[in-house]
Structure 1
Amino acid sequence: MSDRSRSLPDQPNLRYLKIEAKRRLSAGEFPSLHDAQLAIAREHGLSSWAALKATVEAAEARFPALGHVRWVADRFAGADDPGWAAPEGDELRDHFDEHYLSLVPAQKLIGTLRSLAPRLRADLVVSHTTPLAVRAQIADLRVEAAARPDPPHRLATLSVYPLGQRVTDPRTAAPATRSSTGAPARAVRVAEESFAELGLVGLALAGRDRDDETPLWTVVRGWAQLDRNEPLHADHRFPAYGVSKLVTSTAVLRLVAEGRVDLDGPANAHLRTLRLDDGGVTVRELLTHTGGVVSPDERFADAIIDPVAPLGHTVSCDNRRGSLVPSDGGYAVLGQLIADVTGAPYPEAAAALVLEPTGMVGSWFPVRWPENDAIGGHLLSGDGSFVGAPRQVCTLPAAGGLWSTAPDLVRFGLAWSSLLPDELVREALRPQVAQPSGASVGLGWLINEAKDLYGHPGTGPGAAASLTIRLGTGAVTAVCTNRQVPIEPVNARLIRTAG
């Protein structure tokens, strides 16, 4: 038996220790699995395998999010075996929060994880963990997860997405990085590291730190459109998707400040073109995704013909009113409310109320995928090469139709509060509804007081965007890319040292 002494890592992995015992048995170091396990236990200063197992389980209890992620990897690693049995509802609920399972139905979750089975058999390499959050890699997959703050700390979010190692497209080799005067070195590092890690075509970063005298800076890397070999520059426009909701919420609050909209009154009191079938739903409930408004199934098309058509003239509400359920339909209704109150189509009203006064000169709501100074969306094919994403736009402009540049998103983040009275700014940033992850929803904004941040992400066909602002200092960063990947972790890294 070995007489080497080892210490357990901060987050020990029982699965790894079991595999190590079997490996050393197969290598002929020990006559039996029991002997191999006993040797490993003693190498870690413990008298038996049972004692080692108890020690590891106690350590894992200190990191519940990591424990749940390891359960996912272990449970689904053999899912491609014909005899594998899928977990049923109670087993899933031991590891996933009920709200998460309401957003990601069990069959969809199981199907997605089952498709990853061969890769889940690799070692889970943890790059960062706290008791309630995990960032890790397994095979060529990035894993991001967060657990609820209340016991038993089930997972409230789980993202699993491919890293850049899968990219074999020679057109993305040796991308150029261009930065403006004053761009911090940390932003260039984030751009270069993230580009390779996520496997991107193009990446645009922009920001401004705490000092008001500091100019807005930009960093761009890669290509706007691969099929045209077009380099990305800071003025290229991206679909901002969910970030559009911030323009809508700010426009609504401007109308509230002018006394033209009652924040806590029924939305139907201001609607003329369409109606909610629940007449009691308030404007505040639409802003906080608690109105129970049903979203249309089809939200993307080649062109926007009629912004009311996807909703119908009577918009359905379900029995989830009062609960937080993200609703593009609710924000589409707010867009029509803005149009009905101002007498102008939503794109024109939003431009007058928000885009123009915040200096967002490169932003607008196109009716189809734009041609000039606009990115092309990209998808990664199975062989590691990029293909063009469908050139479709969101048919609900107020929920996801904004096209913008990374600098324009920063301009919005810097100036939006100047459009509103102080009391409405405070109300917009007051946590109104708690999220399972521990963050909150304000009036349009997603707020994480523990991290001193607020903002909003957006993702859709072929692209993603993220806007983040520090609550304490007002520092703003924005990230845009022309591949549909979770981009918020890039922005989190970018703003971590800002302002």
Structure 2
Amino acid sequence: MNRRRGALLAIAVLLTVPLARPATADVATADHGDAITEAVEDFATASGYPGIAVIVTDPDGTRHSAAYGVDAEGAPIASDTRMPVASVSKTITAAAVMQLVSAGRVDLDAPAYDYLPGFRIEDRRGADITVRHLLTQTSGITDLTLREKSLPQPATLAEAERRASRAELAADPGEKYAYTNTNFHLAARIVEKVSGVPFGDYLEREIFRPAGMNRTTTIDVTPEDLPADVADGHVYAYGLTPSVPEPHRFVNGSDGVITTPEDLARWLLVQQNDGVAADGTRILPAGVVRQMQTPRGDAPYALGWEVDRGKDGPEVGHGGIWFTYTADILLTDSGHGIAVIGNSGLGLANEGTGQLATRIADIADGEPADPMPSIRLWTDLVLAGFTLLTVVLGARRLARTGSWVRRHGDKPWWRLAARLLPRLAPTVLLFSLPYLIGLAVGGGRDVSLLQLAYYSPALMAWVFIAAVANLATIVVRVLGLRRHGVRRAEVAA
């Protein structure tokens, strides 16, 4: 399912580098089981995931399960390992809203203001934002009009509601699709306000427990609220995968669900059986699942679900990205459900687990799946080469400061400024990277400098060292020019 974000740099060599592969565990042996296991190992090795779990479901139950590798504490990944599923959570938030819609307690086309007294924006068009607009990501709020990751983080959905009042609108409500977590913070807050119970309690009572998702919960903020049995995820740098805590972020309603592969499979079965759980419990009224997964017109987003119109027909699913974990779910026309959770974040030359979900879907349908090229390591090695070259050139410039000053010291100040000011470019690039990468990779998503260090330590190291080296060049040359001017004045005297 080709609905993932594009990689920022095309600096890569399409080679496969064989690396040591940890033993797999918890693998089913039904039809295509060996091919699925091999695809999981291949993806994990090529993309730098220490651990990945995959579940394949049919409407009558789990068909395949495969787990690869270990978590940050060295424990084997298994089908009962608890992990975050990031924005896959939006499918659950949308289901909670649709339960209230089906009960007649929420009107999809009523203004969000009717349910959220603490949400009022200055733009008069804010009164036109409906509940449907929140669930279809068409409210007019974007990450560029409310930078939800860069701003101070709320601690509760009530605080997130108040923070959303600072938003501006990039378009009229309903006019344009723009993905932002803020819409689902507000949707979850509607569930709280209408139901009268905390959002997590509502999900536990109305979705998790009835669906048999007994090891699933939702949290407010990372990493503080993570359950004790959830290990840190990983980032990727130069072929290494160090474990790190997730950055501090508010995630409830948008990407706060913590679950297991088994529980996520139970959620897929609810979708595949028209809202009915594996034990026969009805979670959503008949027809609501189809309504949630059917977008209006050519929109890429339905009610909490992403829709990709490929050459073989539309596919429905949702990706999930933390900075230390990624996840994907996919529902195919052939009736399969695919769930993938990996314990490493998105990065350069790694578009997340969506690629693996698509490959698993192809295998489940009996189609061949080509091996993945190992371009993530090569991308970082190229960046490492640029970083080393930057260090060498920077040291060379500093060592030759004296000769530069003698050669240019008597020139007019404006010519000296013209030579030195371009060396501010790496610093400008450094502080522009959050916007540039958010625009190039996420279509306008918000990201902070710290979070970019999780996204690509190699890229950030190169740009940071380039900025420092060039700033040092400016400072040392200016000081050299000053000493040259003093000596020239003394000679003249």
Where does residue 420 of structure 1 map in the other structure? 284
Output aligned runs, 1:324-339, within 5 Å: 324-339=177-192
Where does residue 363 of structure 1 map in the other structure? 216
Please give the per-residue CA displacement for 1:321-350, whole angstroms capped at 9, x wherever unaligned.
310111211111101111100111111112
> Which letter does structure 2 place at the counterpart of 1:456?
H
Where does residue 461 of structure 2 map in the other structure? none
Match of 1:218, SS state, is: strand
Where does residue 340 of structure 2 map in the other structure? 479
Cα RMSD for the two superposed structures: 3.0
Match of 1:374 among 230, 246, 251: 230
Where does residue 316 of structure 1 map in the other structure? 167
Match of 2:138 among 284, 290, 293: 290
Structure 2, unmatched stretches of 5+, are: 277-282, 347-351, 366-493
Where does residue 494 of structure 1 map in the other structure? 360
Match of 1:461 among 320, 323, 326: 323
Query: Shift of the alpha carbon at 1:180?
Result: 4.2
Where does residue 259 of structure 2 map in the other structure? 404
Check if 1:340 corresponds to 2:204.
Answer: no
Match of 2:127, SS state, is: coil
Q: Could you tell me how far apart the structure 2 residues matched to 1:393 and 1:351 are?
A: 24
Please give the per-residue CA displacement for 1:63-91, whole angstroms capped at 9, x wherever unaligned.
xx9xxxxxxxxxxxxxxxxxxxxxxxxxx
Query: Shift of the alpha carbon at 1:311?
Result: 4.8
Query: Shift of the alpha carbon at 1:139?
Result: 4.2
The question of whether the paired residues in 1 share the 8 Å contact of 2:211 and 2:270 is answered with yes
Q: Could you tell me how far apart the structure 2 residues matched to 1:310 and 1:408 are?
A: 28
The question of whether the paired residues in 1 share the 8 Å contact of 2:216 and 2:257 is answered with yes
Q: Could you tell me how far apart the structure 1 residues matched to 2:75 and 2:344 are?
A: 15
Where does residue 307 of structure 1 map in the other structure? 157
> Which letter does structure 1 place at the counterpart of 2:340?
V
**Which TM-score applies when normalising by structure 2?**
0.62
Check if 1:200 corresponds to 2:45.
Answer: no
Range moving further from structure 2, 338-347 or 317-326: 317-326
Match of 1:279 among 110, 119, 127: 127
> Which letter does structure 1 place at the counterpart of 2:216?
S
The question of whether the paired residues in 2 share the 8 Å contact of 1:252 and 1:334 is answered with yes
Match of 2:104, SS state, is: coil
Match of 2:308 among 435, 448, 451: 448
The question of whether the paired residues in 1 share the 8 Å contact of 2:204 and 2:217 is answered with yes
Match of 1:399, SS state, is: coil
Where does residue 222 of structure 1 map in the other structure? 69
**Higher fraction of helix:** 2
Q: Could you tell me how far apart the structure 1 residues matched to 2:27 and 2:69 are?
A: 15
Q: Could you tell me how far apart the structure 2 residues matched to 1:369 and 1:222 are?
A: 25
The question of whether the paired residues in 2 share the 8 Å contact of 1:301 and 1:394 is answered with no
Match of 1:267 among 85, 93, 112: 112
The question of whether the paired residues in 1 share the 8 Å contact of 2:154 and 2:160 is answered with no
The question of whether the paired residues in 2 share the 8 Å contact of 1:271 and 1:340 is answered with yes
Q: Could you tell me how far apart the structure 2 residues matched to 1:302 and 1:315 are?
A: 12
Please give the per-residue CA displacement for 1:341-394, whole angstroms capped at 9, x wherever unaligned.
011111111222222222211211134353543232111223x22222333364
**Higher fraction of strand:** 1
Output aligned runs, 1:227-266, within 5 Å: 228-266=73-111
Instruction: Label 1:303 to 1:275 Cα distance change in 2 as closer, same or farther (>3 A).
Output: closer
Q: Could you tell me how far apart the structure 1 residues matched to 2:355 and 2:46 are?
A: 11
Output aligned runs, 1:124-139, within 5 Å: 138-139=13-14
> Which letter does structure 1 place at the counterpart of 2:156?
D
Query: Shift of the alpha carbon at 1:233?
Result: 1.9
Aligned length: 334
Match of 1:205, SS state, is: strand
Q: Could you tell me how far apart the structure 2 residues matched to 1:372 and 1:465 are?
A: 20
The question of whether the paired residues in 1 share the 8 Å contact of 2:330 and 2:337 is answered with yes
Q: With CA pairs under 8 Å and 6+ residues apart, which has the higher RCO, 1 or 2? A: 2
Match of 2:157, SS state, is: coil
Output aligned runs, 1:98-137, within 5 Å: 112-113=8-9, 119=11
Q: Could you tell me how far apart the structure 2 residues matched to 1:426 and 1:493 are?
A: 24
Match of 1:468, SS state, is: strand
Query: Shift of the alpha carbon at 1:176?
Result: 1.3
The question of whether the paired residues in 2 share the 8 Å contact of 1:216 and 1:407 is answered with no
Query: Shift of the alpha carbon at 1:255?
Result: 0.4
Instruction: Label 1:359 to 1:312 Cα distance change in 2 as closer, same or farther (>3 A).
Output: same
Structure 1, unmatched stretches of 5+, are: 1-64, 66-99, 121-137, 141-163
Instruction: Label 1:490 to 1:387 Cα distance change in 2 as closer, same or farther (>3 A).
Output: same
> Which letter does structure 1 place at the counterpart of 2:45?
A
Q: Could you tell me how far apart the structure 2 residues matched to 1:311 and 1:272 are?
A: 9
The question of whether the paired residues in 2 share the 8 Å contact of 1:332 and 1:399 is answered with yes
Identity level (%): 23
Query: Shift of the alpha carbon at 1:452?
Result: 4.6
Where does residue 477 of structure 2 map in the other structure? none
Please give the per-residue CA displacement for 1:108-147, whole angstroms capped at 9, x wherever unaligned.
x9xx53xx6xx35xxxxxxxxxxxxxxxxx346xxxxxxx
